[in-house]
Structure 1
């Protein structure tokens, strides 16, 4: 099996110390800084200094709209803003009586209620983000909003007021996020198409013998799919959302189509692509739209889904980390919960999760030194708000390039956002507690990552490949009595493409975590993947009222039966 080109995780040096190019990040970073800085400055100027920091909760909503077409962006940012304000309200509702009781002399073990509240929000956010395949920033900021709401409520601000000021920040996020609409309504689509073109050109000109060539190929595929989805969200594809045979005559659609043809040609000419093991299968066809939200959420309500496993691990790690922190006498167990959630909230495989944990520990230690220097400046009022905006800008500039360096700025941002509750303590005490709690959270998260359901990647791969096989069979059966453009067939095609993407991700996770187990199963996994795209490609080439010939569907069935027999023997 040594001839197989199994996906391999990036080497530690590249992940821990690398600083790869990720395209133009500064526009999004500026929007993130302005969404926080503008409303907080106005609120502070009106004399509401404590409330100005609370506004920052809703300002995180701007991050969820980045890269999306304006037609879809306003919905995403609005939903994120409401959810962030709701998370802060929930955290405040739980935290207020807890902090009041502790101040009156009751046991600090009451802080476990805050741990449970943060874990509950984290569980829901991690599941939803994974099931919907939202990508970064995932569900982390909802956990952070719960923490901040709990902390601010401890200083006496009512939960409803906290949620209200968070909503002000959310409104600012919406305005800032949509600010470019009048200047260039198609700016996100142009940026997505340009990013896809740059990624494809980088792969096409890459040295095939270099270790970075497979990653360049994978990045080109991801950027291409993201650009198609952006054009779809922007309404640039003709027909109904399920019909993709006909394209719009918009120049961006033609440009992206040409980019896809270039990638397909580059893959065909790449001698390192092994058809028996590689999953990159890009053809010059427009992808189907993503299934609806309900489908994606319900689909993942299964113990073998990736979202279920990611949420389970986060649940266990956050509860244990918070409980350990309370047991050792910490006054801020929320830091341990946050650290654990940061490692696990996007459901990384064990290798990449371990890298992330190392980044978190080292970045936090360096970030605490930066916090100490900033604390000596005694930032208050407008200066504190400008400092928070600058830190937010740096985080957005760096987080996609090197997470460890980004954490250097995330740490003082989180500490300073704690407001008076953090700054009232001595900097040495705050730094020491932060480091200890971060270490507890990261260590617990890594222990959970390597021990809890440690063979989940096997179940996930079998499950999602089984779903692909079922959809191929169902599509072939449906074509006996319906044409390629029938609504029922279009729905099956849409679901099949979605599951094929999940199959590819599950295969990569299995190869990273368990290459010895994955290697003998990889040829069948790869063949199933290619069969699925053969079905999609064959149907896409047909007119809406056309049907594949019986020889073609018979061949699909034979290949599927052979794969079922091969999988049964393993």
Structure 2
């Protein structure tokens, strides 16, 4: 990522992002919705189909994952939607509703944030709970029928989400691992271009880490080897980037893409490695050898000479990490839980008889990582809901028959999914219409009063969400960025010292994984901090973030050379690591003028000097925030 400027709020709210079309989720969601609605029509109870339709939202969480992971994910999502339906339906008085909806919002935000679940993340659980709270609780035991219908819809979504395992059991895994090679090709093509290289490096690092996470869960040795080779190539490319000032030749770009295709379709393409003259130096020879080894391994001509794994945290470790005071998901969880519960209280105090739309709007607005994004969400929610209310009013006024209602819900669901990653405001048009059609089917309320009431509720909920964004941990990213930089620098130092002292392969793999995770976290927090109001000081912070990233990736690129430990250099470096960290934390004020001479690692020595200079830019306050 570049140091760039965060776009204006209005521009960000109205712009369309160039995101790929989620074809797999589109046909899966469309098929699921068609099946559950057809089931309701066949049984003569359109409302059963609509309740099952809410369980069918499980289809929105089909992402490229190993099928074993996807099966567990969809099962948990389906159960979560069912629990949300139950909690929303049992909230018969306002304070029950405040507690129930606040809990659903907080729990779903924490879990989806901890496990990096992309859009729609936790919002769908809040949507289901809010819709459920708006439905009448008669006849007796109706809530259990609704929960059973939601489970049925989730079950159908689970089957549809897993069905392509029958003909392509390793397809998602191969696609994810192959993306690492495509990202490496783009990284190589960006060398020598400061504007694009940092972004390409960041994307390549993310892709390599995701490839490892995927390969570890596949039990497919070939994919594990491919992920290992992607790591070797990434490290060799980092080392090469420190010595070249121009993009790799197109032949290398094509070769890396061919390697990605080879992972997707084994044996499909012939792979030939260009010769590299020894006169170009050690980094070029290392790059050539890494590519040659990857070609041999992926072509099945040889097995890798050794195994290299990046350590990946367990489920328990990820859950525990989310509870850390340095984690960004923790303030987001507390913020949305408090805001949703408060919005119910506010709606009750001002006399709104059916307050469910106020917390729903507040939760929708708070689906963002920074105050600027949340402000965009408020604009998008207000505009999208207004248009959605008009569309819902027109459609409901036409009194569509049950079959037409079923068809409309399929179309609206597909529209929501198509636009949700491109422009949230457009997807809100479809979300609003879906929600009102669900509620109208269960209540048969007067159309125009319902639409007008929801419009007023939207304004109130948007205001609550916007105030919460600024009042509750509004600069969470900025305040966490300093500690993230310290953590990344500490991990980098530990990895460097362990490499120089010839630590075990297991320890080095663990440190490389934790270093990569720390570097990605720094970039994520920095980008989020740019979107906070007021934003972080770019002129001071970007040189430091860039220096830490470059240093971390350079240290990750080290091979275990020299074969004999260089404990003398490790001993000489330790005071420097301590001083860099102390100064970053504001514990020291003197400039770091002595960097140990490292003729065998000139790029790292140069980057350490740049890091010391970047820390000087923070003087005299010695802090990032």
TM-score range normalised by the length of the shorter chain: 0.7 to 0.9
Q: Which of 430, 434, 439 in structure 2 is aligned with 1:413? A: 434
Equivalence for 1:297: 319
Deviations 1:437-460 (A, max 9, x none): 111111111111122233333331
Q: What are the within-5 Å matches in structure 2 for residues 127-138 of structure 1? A: 127-138=110-121
Contact residue 366 and residue 408 of structure 1 kept, 8 A: yes
Q: Shift in Å at residue 395 of structure 1? A: 0.9
Partner of 2:365 in structure 1? 343
Instruction: Encode CA deviations 1:376-430: one digit per residue, 9 max, x unaligned.
Output: 33234333222212111111111111111111111101111224345x1222112
Residue number in structure 2 paired with 1:392? 413
- 1:27 paired residue number: 24
Q: Is 1:462 paired with 2:482?
A: yes
User: 2:32 and 2:330 mapped to 1: Cα distance?
Assistant: 33
Three-state SS of the structure 2 residue aligned to 1:68 is: coil
Cα pair distance change 1:48/1:490, threshold 3 Å = same
* Distance change >3 Å, CA 291–CA 372, structure 1 → 2: same
Provide the residue aligned with 2:516 in structure 1. Answer: 497
Say if 1:469 and 1:261 are closer, same or farther in 2 by CA, change over 3 A. Answer: closer
Partner Cα distance (1:174, 1:466) in 2: 43
Distance 2:95 2:462 in 1: 18
Matches within 5 A, 1:234-245: 234-236=218-220
Partner residue in 2 for 1:485: 505
Question: Which residue is equivalent to 1:102?
Answer: none
Structure 1 SS opposite 2:356: helix
Select the structure of larger CA radius of gyration.
Answer: 2
Question: 1:518-569 CA distances to partner (integer Å, 9 max, x unpaired)?
Answer: 543443443333343344333xx349x9786335645763552232133125
- In the TM superposition, what is the alpha-carbon distance from 1:317 to its structure 2 partner? 1.7
Q: Does 1:122 align with 2:105?
A: yes
CA distance in structure 1 between the partners assigned to 2:505 and 2:36 by the alignment:
50
Matched, 1:520 2:508: no
> Helix, strand or coil: the match of 1:418?
helix
Does 2:348 correspond to 1:326? yes
How far the C-alpha of 1:172 sits from its partner, in A, is 0.7
8 Å CA contact 2:497, 2:570 repeated in 1: no
For the 8 Å contact 1:55–1:167, the answer to whether it is kept is yes
| C-alpha spacing 1:236/1:389, structure 2 compared with 1 (3 Å) | same
**Which residue of structure 2 lines up, in the alignment, with residue 83 of structure 1?**
80
2 CA distance for matches of 1:496 and 1:321? 41
Deviations 1:484-512 (A, max 9, x none): 323x5544443333233222211222233
Asked if the contact 1:196–1:223 (Cα under 8 Å) also holds between the matched residues in 2, the reply is yes
Rounded to whole Å, the distance in 1 between the matches of 2:195 and 2:375 is 21
Query: How many angstroms apart in 2 are the aligned matches of 1:463 and 1:429?
Result: 51
Partner of 1:496, secondary structure, is helix
The answer to whether the 8 Å contact 1:72/1:234 transfers is no
Alpha-carbon distance, 1:81 to partner: 0.9
Whether the 8 Å CA contact 2:30–2:414 is kept in 1: the answer is yes
Give the C-alpha shift of residue 64 in structure 1: 1.7
User: Post-superposition shift, 1:481?
Assistant: 8.4
CA 1:154–1:51 in 2, change beyond 3 Å: closer, same or farther? same
Q: Pairwise mapping of residues 504-543 of structure 1 onto structure 2 (< 5 A)?
A: 504-513=523-532, 514-515=534-535, 517=537, 519-538=539-558, 541-542=559-560
Deviates more, 1:377-386 or 1:208-217: 208-217
Q: Which has the higher contact order (CA 8 A, sep 6+)?
A: 1
Q: Residues 115 and 334 of structure 1 are in contact (CA less than 8 Å); yes or no, is this contact kept in structure 2?
A: no
Distance 1:335 1:265, change over 3 A: farther
Is 1:39–1:169's contact at 8 Å kept on the other side of the alignment? yes
> Which residue of the partner structure matches residue 164 of structure 1?
148
Distance in 1, Cα, partners of 2:503 & 2:230: 30
* Aligned residue runs from structure 1 range 436-447, under 5 A: 436-447=456-467
Q: 1:175 aligns with which of 127, 139, 159?
A: 159
In the TM superposition, residue 13 of structure 1 has moved relative to its aligned partner by 6.1
Post-superposition offset of 1:39: 2.5
- Is the CA contact (8 Å cut-off) linking 2:357 and 2:461 kept in structure 1? yes
TM-score w.r.t. length of structure 1: 0.80
1:432 aligned to 446, 452, 467, which one? 452
How many angstroms apart in 1 are the aligned matches of 2:231 and 2:370?
A: 32
Pairing 1:151–2:134 present:
yes
DSSP 3-state at the match of 1:178: helix
Aligned to 1:10, the other structure's residue is in SS state coil
In structure 1, list runs of 5 or more residues that go unmatched.
Answer: 99-109, 239-246, 273-282
Q: CA deviation at 1:461?
A: 1.3
The C-alpha deviation readout for 1:217-264, integer Å capped at 9, x for no partner, is: 7666655654554444444466xxxxxxxx7456x9878987998899
C-alpha change, 1:331 and 1:271, in structure 2 (3 Å) is farther
Counterpart CA distance in 1 for 2:309 and 2:5 is 27
Matches within 5 A, 1:548-563: 549-550=566-567, 553-554=570-571, 557-563=574-580
| CA drift at 1:46 | 1.8
Aligned partner of 1:316 in structure 2 is 338
Q: Distance in 2 between matches of 1:212 and 1:436?
A: 45
Query: Larger deviation: 168-177 or 252-261?
Result: 252-261
Q: RMSD over aligned Cα, in angstroms?
A: 3.8
Q: Distance in 2 between matches of 1:405 and 1:202?
A: 31
Q: 1:397 to 1:521 in 2, by over 3 A?
A: closer
Kindly indicate whether the alpha-carbon contact (under 8 Å) linking 1:528 and 1:563 is maintained by their aligned counterparts in 2: no
In structure 2, what is the Cα distance between the partners aligned to 1:547 and 1:51? 71
Question: Could you report, residue by residue, the CA deviation over 1:310-349 in whole angstroms, capped at 9, with x for unpaired residues?
Answer: 112112321232222222222332211111111224x411
